[in-house]
């Protein structure tokens, strides 16, 4: 008794066959489309002679890899170029204060910016205490009573707070917050804030860091006493 392919595949190899059509949600279109590009490249390399495709196939596949690498490199360069152009166009707005742990800051209330009654709501929240800055550039902040905000705050939302008088803070911020090092690391290693703008990506060395502390002879202090 002859066995057909539809009998052998599911029973012996565990492969289930399906019918492929343009209206089938399980169609392997994602696999077929790249084959079309490779086939067109082979046809062009062989000048229409199908018998030469065997010899031109390794060259076409190698060129495909090189072309993908070139496209990725071009996109990366364009992203960096666009970021630098954005920084140059908005250099009066984009600032990197680089607040140190213990600095007093205000948090821009971006949740109200699209509401119709935003003029009646506070634009800034705080003051807050900087606990630590993460590798991604966002900040871990705490309220004045030591309560740590569970979500990291994007750098563009954090502004310096100029206190009318010096506010003395404890040297050990961990004792103020009441969090252990493990709990603090869990917050730091958490997901980055969703409202982080693309301009914060790969801007290391392209923004001049502004001082987060103001000398006493120039204005009110924005940090705690040592």
Does the pTM surpass 0.85? The reply is no
Looking at residue 214, its pLDDT comes to 39
Task: Give the pLDDT confidence score for residue 210 in this predicted structure.
Answer: 38
Task: Quote the pLDDT of residue 78.
Answer: 92
pLDDT at 207: 35
Q: Are 143 and 84 in contact (CB under 8 A)?
A: no
Q: Give the per-residue pLDDT at 6.
A: 65
Q: What pLDDT is recorded for position 74?
A: 92
pLDDT tens, the chain, 226 aa long? 556 666 666 777 676 666 666 566 555 665 566 677 777 778 888 887 878 777 877 777 777 777 788 889 999 999 999 988 988 888 887 777 888 888 889 999 888 888 888 888 888 988 888 888 888 788 888 888 878 888 888 888 899 998 877 666 666 666 666 667 777 777 777 776 665 444 333 333 333 333 444 344 433 333 444 3
pLDDT of residue 30: 59
Q: What is the pLDDT of residue 106?
A: 92
């Amino acid at each position: 008794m002859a066995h057909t392919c539809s009998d052998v595949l599911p029973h012996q190899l565990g492969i289930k066959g399906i019918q492929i059509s343009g209206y089938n949600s399980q169609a392997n279109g994602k696999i077929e489309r790249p084959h079309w590009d490779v086939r067109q490249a082979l046809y062009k390399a062989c000048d229409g002679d199908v018998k030469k495709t065997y010899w031109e196939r390794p060259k076409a596949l190698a060129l495909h890899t090189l072309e993908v690498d070139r496209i990725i490199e071009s996109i990366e360069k364009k992203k960096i170029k666009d970021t630098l152009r954005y920084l140059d166009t908005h250099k009066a707005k984009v600032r990197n204060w680089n607040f140190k742990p213990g600095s007093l800051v205000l948090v821009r209330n971006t949740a109200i910016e699209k509401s119709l009654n935003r003029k009646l709501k506070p634009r800034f929240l705080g003051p807050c205490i900087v606990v630590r800055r993460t590798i991604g550039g966002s900040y871990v902040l705490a309220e004045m009573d030591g309560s740590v905000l569970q979500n990291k705050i994007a750098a563009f939302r954090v502004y310096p707070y100029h206190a009318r008088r010096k506010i003395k803070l404890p040297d050990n911020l961990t004792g103020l917050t009441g969090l252990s090092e493990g709990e603090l690391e869990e917050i730091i290693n958490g997901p980055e804030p969703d409202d982080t703008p693309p301009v914060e990506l790969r801007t290391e060395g392209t923004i001049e860091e502004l001082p987060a502390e103001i000398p006493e002879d120039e204005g009110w202090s924005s940090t705690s006493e040592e």
